Each structure stands twice: as C-alpha cells, then as structure tokens.
Structure 1
C-alpha cells in the first residue's frame, strides 16, 4: 500500500517490518525455505517486536509470510540438529508475540508446521486460507516441545486438541482448524490480505486502552491466572480515560471518535 513505510528498502530482507499509522506488518520472507526460521531470523523478529512495543503509535500487529505454500515451517531443522538453535529460543520469541499489549493478527499465507503453528497460536486472531494444513512433528523425531509452548497449546485449544496436535502429531486441514478453534477466520487466498487489513483497521480505530485492558484480562482468565486487583485497575483506568469521554462525545455528536490512547 502506498502509505506503508518499510523499515528497510531491501526487498530481499528475510524478516520485513512495515510501519503505517497505527498498524505494523511483520513478514517472513524466506519462501524458498518455507519460511523456516534460523537463529538470526529469530533474533531479528525479537528485535522488531521490541521496537513495536516501544512505539506508542502502533495499535495492531499483522504477522504474515511471503510465498504461496507455507506461512512458517518453524525452526530451521539444520540449525536445530547442529545446536545452533534450540526450541527454548524459539519459544521465547513466541512468548514475546503473545505478550504484546496490542492486538495481533496472524494472516496465514499457507501451511504451518512445528513452531510455525505456535507462532500463529501466539496471535490473538488467526486468519487461515483454504487449502492450508497444520501439524506439529516433534514427537515424530523424538523431541519434546518446549514447556511454555505446550502450555500455550493447552490454554488456547484445550487439552484434547493439544494432545491431538502434540502427542498424536495429527495433520489438520483448514476446515478442521476452524472448527477446532485453531483458526478464528477462514477465507479464500485472494481474500486474505483484505480480510486481515479490514480487521486491523477496524481495531486500530478503537480505543487503545480498552483493547489492551481487555486483551490482558482475557489472557489471564484463559490461563486461570486472573489477578483481580490488577484486572480491576485496568478496568477502572479505561473508565476514567479521556478516550471514554471522547467515545461518548462522538456518540452525542454523531461522528467517528478520535482516540489518543489516554
């Protein structure tokens, strides 16, 4: 899009970050390797996530990939086998994604395998495309998935689906992924960008404090770790904010609200 400003002009950059007003897009750009991530790729993603955290203007993050076959094949197996990359480092990256205060959207441009399936799972919304598949192979090669990753599968998908993916290493097609709650949306490939864009723009127009507060409270509740005092403080902060006053004013004046995040 014309107003998108890439962080780097190098089209060959393996991990691309584009910044627009309120929306960031992180793109895995290694289609020849099915977007499998090497150690340096993981480090670059973490660096980008840290810059996104520090940017108060950003309100939504989209994560996607280039290529028509695979969103992400997880950690690069050659580096996993050599010890140059381990599952804990990869899981720390997905923890970073899951820990972002702003809403996150995974726009699956294709299938996801191993850690790539968890990268999507770490996002708040997962938009899949028809024809995609997902499976998690560690059990097939004798590897135990990282502990925090297992916890994420269970908290998001429930124990039965988590065991089907991790222990049985079942392969799931797009319609199954939607019915089992792995995907939140399923669209045709040609509608992927439009759907992700519409969702991102819609949330970017909402009150940032309210989105952040409700995301935090919902995630705590999903893990059975709701801190009532902290949750109430987030609730009260939103209800005392200038954004809420702006929201009510926009209703009275029959106009779109302009939220500032305070």
Structure 2
C-alpha cells in the first residue's frame, strides 16, 4: 500500500482548517482521513484536528480486520467524536459552534470502506474512469435524494450548497458509510472541497495518471489548484496498492 498526502491553505487564505492523517491498526489495516473545519463557525480548525487525531488514535488501538465490525465501529466512533466536539464547545464559549466535515477510507485487501459527513469527498480511479464514491451532504443534494425537488430547481435554492451534515453543534452524527471494490491499479483520492472547486475531473484524472511517485502527484494537485486561484484550503490524499 502506498499513501501520500498534503494540505495547504490555498491561494486566497492564510489559515488552514483542513486536517489530514493516515493511521494503521494493530492488525495492519490502514485508515486515511480528511477533515475540513466548517469555515462559517468559529473553531473549525480545532474540530477538524480533534476529529482526525481522535479517530486516528482510536483506530490505532483496535484490532479490527474485517468490514462488518469496522462499519459498526465507525458509526460508534462518529457518535463519540461528535459528543467530544460538543462538550469541548460547551467548555469554551468561542468554540460553541465549531464543526467539521470528514471523509475517511479504511483499506482492505480488495475492498475499501468509505465514510463521510459533509462535502469532503472520496473518489476512485478505475480503468481510467474517475467516480465519486461519497455523497455530498449539502442542502440541494439532500432534497433531491429525498425526491422532494428536481435537481435543477434545488440548485437554484438559497443556500443550496450549505453543508447539512457534520461533526459538532448538534447531537446527530449521521455518517454515511459504503463499501467498494479497490483492486490492483486503482487509485483512491480523498479531498476537502477546495480542490474540486477549481480543478475539473479531467485535470484531476490526468494528474492521478502521471508516471510519477504519489507524493509528486499530490504536490502537483495542490500546486495546480493554487494556480487556478483556489479560494479555500486544499488537501489531497492518494492511495494505491503498489509501493512507491
């Protein structure tokens, strides 16, 4: 397994509320995770750092090696972390509304489990086709998925892109979890929403297909996003089965 990641404030911001990490549990299963502090809420950088570090250290201390118990663990851990963020906010008034999105992947032999809250994203490049594995939890998408409105109408709503699920603020932490094939030559890509605001799928796929080590691909992803005027923090994680 080869993993590379990098985070950057972006070309328009000085602070970075993204946080990223990679962790291995007691039986050698790897988790990669990206959290993006909700910018409109004070303390987003605290919430994102808490989420990655707490999820990561909890993962390192377990011995899960199969998918079903891992999914149950993720649901339980999301609740634990949500409670921790809320309690931290109750202790410090300036952090009372802090929140973060999160997307993570747990790697198995030829499968990957994806879990997310919010609009941080997971993609898979398979047979030269780039597919988003996660669902963006934003207002327009949630309304369309419930069948309450057509996509075009929902896109014209006020606050159509407002994040509807995250860790923090309220007691509901409805993490969406799915499993997918992850086989030889596939490339997994996790990111906050900053990169996809400025780079289209064609460009992202082109970078992922470079004949370069993963860390160079990640660097180029960040660099090209910044050259395009990335208005938000930018974070990229790439994972393959091959060793760099």
Normalising by structure 1, we get a TM-score of 0.30
Considering only CA atoms, is the larger Rg found in Structure 1 or Structure 2? 1
Greater relative contact order (Cα < 8 A, sep 6+): 2
Whichever structure has more helix as a proportion of its residues is 1
Greater percentage in strand: 2
